[in-house]
Each structure stands twice: as C-alpha cells, then as structure tokens.
Amino acid sequence: MTTSHKEDEVMAHAGSATAHQERAPGVPDGEFLGHPKGLWMLFSAEFWERFMYYGMRAILAPYVAMTFFEHLGSGADAEASLTYGGYTSMVYMTGILGGYVADKILGYQRSIMLGGALMAAGMFMLLTPDLTFFLLGLAVLVVGNGLFKPNISVMVGKLYSEKDPRRDSGFTIFYMGINAGALVAPIICGTIVGAIYGYKWGFFTAGIGMVFGLMVFQLLKHWLGEVGKKPKDRNATKSLFQVIFGAIVLIAPVYVLLSRSEILGAILSVMMLGLAGYFVYSGIRSGSKEQLHRYIAMLILFVANMCFWALFEQAGSSLNFFARDYVDMPGGIDFTIFQSANPVFILLLAPIFAILWPKLEKWNMNPSIPRKFAFGLLGVGVGFYALVFAIDFMQSEGGRVPWEMLALCYLIHTMGELCLSPIGLSMVTKLARPKEVGLAMGGWFLSIATANYIAGRIAAIAAGGGGDAHAEAGSIEGYYAVFEQLFWGGLIVAVFFFLVAPFINKLMHGVK
C-alpha cells in the first residue's frame, strides 16, 4: 500500500517538526538532506584529515622497511610491522588525553584546530631520511591526532539530542566522510605519487590534505553554532598556551615509546585498567545503578572492539606485505591500491546499512548493539578464511594468489566493520554521562590503540614465519598459519558475544 503525495507532505512536515523539537542545545537552525549543516562541515573536515592519515598509513610500513631496515634482509618487514603497530597504537592512545582537554580545558573546536596544525607539521617532518627525525615526526603526529580524532567524533554526537532517531544515521554519514578520504588517499599518495616519485612525496601530499582540512574547519565553523566551544569558566588564551606547552612536553615520551615499543604494551594495559576503574568509580559516584550498569556494558563492548581491530588492522601491515609479495596484481598496478579496497566497499555499502537499521527497527528486527558487535567480529574472522582458502586451493605455480581473493577478504571485513564501528561511536555518546562523553570517546579510541599494538605484534609474527619453526621469515606458509589462527579466533569471540548479548542488553537499560 502506498501513501498519497499529500500524506507524504504531512509525514515530512511532522518529521521536520520532531527534528526541530529535538534539536540539541546550541545547534543553529538550518539542515541539509535532513541533518544539521554542521554534520556536513565535520564530514568535510574529517575527509581531509583521513586523507592525511590513510595516505601515509598506506605507505608507512613498506617505506620504513625499505628505508630504515633494509639491512635486516628478511627481518625488515617484521621490524617495520612493530614500528607501524606502535605508531597506529599511539595515534589512538592519546585520544583519551585529547578528550579530557576538550571536555575540561580548551573546548572541542580549538582542540581540533590545534591537533590538525600539529598533524600537518608532523607529516612534513616525515620527508627526512633520518630515522630519529622521522620518529620525531611520528611523535608530533601522534600528539596532534590525540587532540583531533576523538573530539570531532564527539561533536557529531552533540549535534543531536539523545532521543533523536537520526543519530545513528548521522554517524554513518560521518563515517562515509572518513572513508571517502581513505578511498582517494592511498591511490593518490601511494599508487600514483608514491610509486612514481617516491613514497616520501606521498607523505608530502598527505600533509597538504591536512592543511585543506584545517581550512574547511576554520571557514565553516559557524555552522556548529555554540557546539564545541570552550568551557565558559576558562580563559581562552591562557588555556590555549597551557595545552600547547603540554603537547610539546608530551612529544618526548611519545618519541621514546615509538623507538622502544616493547614497553608500550605494558603502558596500554595499565591505561586500560585505569580507565575501567575510573568509569566504574564514576558510575558508583553518580548514585545511579543504571549509570553504573551502562558503564560496565560500555567497558565490555570496549573488549569486543579491541578484538575486532586487532584482526582488522592487519590491513596496513601483514595484508599490505602479503599483497606486495604473494598477490597477482592486475596490470602491474602498485600493491598499495588495496589500501583503498576497504573505503570503496564502505562507500558502496554504508548507505545501505544506514537505511537498513531504521528499516529493521520499524519491523522489530533490528539487532541489538551487542549483536551487531558480534556480527562485526564474525565478519573480520571469516574474511581471513578467504585468504586461507586461496593459499590452499588457488595458489599459482609462482606462489601467488588471485587478487580477487584479497579483495573478497576486504569486502567481508568491511561488512563486519559497518556492523561495529559507526554503531560503536554512537553507543559511546549514548552510554556515557554528558560531562564525560569526551573522556568516554577517548576510552573508545584507547581500546583501538591497544588493538593496534596487538595487531603490530601479530603482523610481526606473520612476517617472521608465523611462529612456525619450519617456515621462513616472510614465507607464504607463515602468513597462512597466522591467517588461519585469526579466522578461528574471530569466530570464537563472535560466538561468545552472541551468547552474552542478552546480558549486555540488560546492563544498557534501554539504550539502543
């Protein structure tokens, strides 16, 4: 049965009125495609920041292996994997500090601008062939990202009231901005600029992207209205200089951890335990059993998030090296092109998922947040089986597998990602107390930081022979052993979360 045009108009006006009544505090009037205009500005700024990040990420591990560890021979990839894992871990690790700074000191808008400026500076420092200065550039990038990344995600949540039904779709649209940048970045920075002129010029191109992101944010920030401005009880100039000084001081220990990644795991473990203790204490102190339960649910889902990204983040390291050495590339295209596979699938599938969740909710078939997490874990595990199958049954005489199977792996991983990542961002803004949303988002990224550290260790094992005494470093047998273990690991954890989903739902007290 279809509705008449008149009924459609009435429904549209009703939806508009509802959205207006539920507009979050400080959000200015004006919408575009059914969402606040501020969402589209944040979408654009995040596009360029992710262009910077994924452009350098696509070439980071191969560049480090080739430039700084080539003298290690077959051990170069394993050493580069540790550097890559340490960097990607710390990029997310500093998010918890950035969330605190935005909540309590600087405000979200200024935190984003300062973080972006530091990231642009750090990116240009990567042009040096000196390892010490290169690691220092990575340290500047890490500190800048801590101020930028969690806070722009929080601002998306602040554009919607807690009960606004557009919230999840808004985060999914924002997630498309992330992946639009991630799509073009590896092609431009790696496959074109890097492959033709040298990977260091890929870093330069990525840095220019970050400059564009800052320009977009500055020119269109009036679309945010009062959202994300500095706390009213803080002096703007004094706060800015305090944070700049703190950022400069923080660069030194970050550099040390990048050059000595063996102690990074212990620090991440302590931070995760401290974070868990803080949120349990905060829940108790709130005097609300409901809030305590919500924080416990959030922490359990942090664990699921950690498991997911530890597997998923093989993309820039072990899967990148595997593509370079063991995948038949069509037409001699540079292997870094596969770093665009995930965002291509995101852009194709994200609109479908954005429509799917409200439809399933309408039909009373929408999976709960914990069940969506379980589907995500299932996807990331099954994706690795595509490579296990290809190595077992489709390997050529030259020891290579069809590129289509690696693309299939990325496709299945992407479907898992869409079940977990945008839903997780939205979940954090719903479960946390309003005054602790920035810190909670920092905690979300800290769980990803821990996952990236683990991912780097897994990639080093894969590049080093897969832990098999009979497999040579960098051999296809080593990759096979690790990919098979990741398949089974993802499957087991997914089943566990399917089983405990009803318990987690009870702890969430109606949050969907």
What residue segments make up the domains of the chain, in order of their start? 33-508
Task: Give the model's pLDDT for residue 18.
Answer: 44
Summarize the confidence of residues 245-255 as an average pLDDT: 92
Task: Give the model's pLDDT for residue 465.
Answer: 77
Q: Where are the beta strands (DSSP E) in 417-488?
A: none
Task: Say how far residue 316 (Cα) sits from the centre of its chain.
Answer: 13
The rounded distance, in Å, linking the Cα atoms of 377 and 173 is: 22
Residue 27 confidence (pLDDT) above 70: no
Summarize the confidence of residues 316-320 as an average pLDDT: 93
Residue 9 confidence (pLDDT) above 60: no
Both structure tokens of 437 = 């949303």
Q: How confident is the model at residue 362 (pLDDT cuts 50, 70, 90)?
A: confident
Summarize the confidence of residues 194-216 as an average pLDDT: 92
Which candidate, 116, 114, 92, 117, places its Cα nearest to that of 101?
Answer: 114
Which candidate, 309, 425, 442, places its Cα nearest to that of 369?
Answer: 425
C-beta of residue 100 within 8 angstroms of C-beta of residue 438: yes
From its phi and psi, is residue 198 left (phi > 0), alpha (psi between -120 and 50) or beta?
left
The rounded distance, in Å, linking the Cα atoms of 369 and 498 is: 11
Q: How confident is the model at residue 91 (pLDDT cuts 50, 70, 90)?
A: confident
Query: Scanning the structure block, which residue is given the tokens 């920035």?
Result: 438
What does the DSSP 8-state code read for residue 160? Answer: B
Considering the domain 33-508 in this protein, what is its CATH number? 1.20.1250.20
Both structure tokens of 389 = 């199958």
Instruction: Provide Rg for the chain, Cα atoms.
Output: 22
The rounded distance, in Å, linking the Cα atoms of 222 and 27 is: 10
C-beta of residue 500 within 8 angstroms of C-beta of residue 393: no
Tally of residues, the chain: 512
- Residue 189's φ and ψ, nearest 5 degrees, are -75, -30
C-beta of residue 426 within 8 angstroms of C-beta of residue 157: yes
Which candidate, 501, 480, 345, places its Cα nearest to that of 416?
Answer: 345
Neighbours of 173 (CB within 10 A): 22
Q: How confident is the model at residue 231 (pLDDT cuts 50, 70, 90)?
A: low
Quick one: what percent of the chain has pLDDT higher than 90? 49
Mean of pLDDT over the chain: 86
Is residue 352 classed exposed, middle or buried when 0-12, 13-18 and 19+ CB atoms within 10 A define those classes? exposed
The rounded distance, in Å, linking the Cα atoms of 251 and 136 is: 8
Residue 156 confidence (pLDDT) above 90: no
Strands 327-328 and 401-402: parallel
Both structure tokens of 86 = 């340490």
Task: Give the model's pLDDT for residue 341.
Answer: 93
Task: Say how far residue 162 (Cα) sits from the centre of its chain.
Answer: 23
Is residue 499 classed exposed, middle or buried when 0-12, 13-18 and 19+ CB atoms within 10 A define those classes? exposed
What does the DSSP 8-state code read for residue 193? Answer: I
Query: Scanning the structure block, which residue is given the tokens 């999914």?
Result: 172
Q: How confident is the model at residue 332 (pLDDT cuts 50, 70, 90)?
A: confident
